[in-house]
Amino acid sequence: MGRRLVAAWVTAIALMAWTSPATARDATVTSFDGTPIATHFFPAAGLPAGATAPTVLVGQGGGGRGRTAREGASHTTTGNTGLGPLRHAGFNVLTWDARGFGASGGQVEVDSPQHEGRDVQALLDWLAGQPEARLEAPGDPLVGMSGVSYGGAIQLIAAALDERVDAITPTIAWHSLTRSLYRDASVKQGWGTLLFAAGASSGRLNPQIQQAFVEGLATGAFSPATVDFFDARGIDRLVAQIDVAELVS
């Protein structure tokens, strides 16, 4: 009788371990150049161990960091979709502190394809190895993206760079930083100041961003070096490479 009782308890514990929901976790992903990217992974609500689900990568807004409220609500005023609604709709969620912000290393490069874009590719590599991630092929997770402003632009860049991104929903994203900040060769000082203040207060900026702010205040114009810096981070030249489902707002 005693042995049967012990066997029953062992079986019950094993079943509980097998059927218990998958757990959220933080991880540090090493990007292409060795920069550590702080990530936060949240399995779909109620996802049992051994099951998989598609994943949504949620990018941060300018000056922010990766969201960590697993039951966070959506915000209609900003267009941010909450982690809670996504998880309860059956999606895993992956957030991260963009390069230069929060616990991630490096410096802010304003969603550069050569930096932040390749960081997302490293996140996809990491995600493909997570047991909760549904894969379309080895190394290829089923992935959508969400986010506003800074988190919107990175979607366009990631979708252009990596065919593993299956769907994007960029909100308030820019098409060209040069056009957004320096239209008709005139610095948008009000908007530029707000963006600079948001980045400077919480991130480690590329010195050229500081230089652009100084130039704009002092002369109302950007130097050729600053124009080249922002032009190199434009999405306009990448748009033709995007071949995924898009919902742009």
- For the sheet with 143-148, list strands across it: 25-30, 36-42, 92-96, 55-58, 143-148, 165-171, 245-246
Length of the chain counted residue by residue: 249
Question: What stretches of the chain adopt beta strand conformation (E)?
Answer: 25-30, 36-42, 55-58, 92-96, 135-137, 140-141, 143-148, 165-171, 245-246
Look-up: residue for tokens 């930096």? 115
Chain segment 102-132, per-residue pLDDT in tens: 999 999 999 999 999 999 999 999 999 999 9
Alpha-carbon span 14 to 217, nearest angstrom: 65
Q: What is the mean pLDDT of each run of 10 residues along the chain (249 residues)?
A: 50 46 93 98 96 98 91 90 97 98 96 97 98 98 96 96 97 87 82 73 89 90 94 87 87
pTM: 0.87
- 168 token code pair: 């994007």
Alpha-carbon span 64 to 101, nearest angstrom: 7
Chain segment 145-154, per-residue pLDDT in tens: 999 999 999 9
Look-up: residue for tokens 């290829």? 140
CB of 148 within 8 A of CB of 78? yes
Q: Which amino acid is at 204?
A: R
CB of 12 within 8 A of CB of 18? no
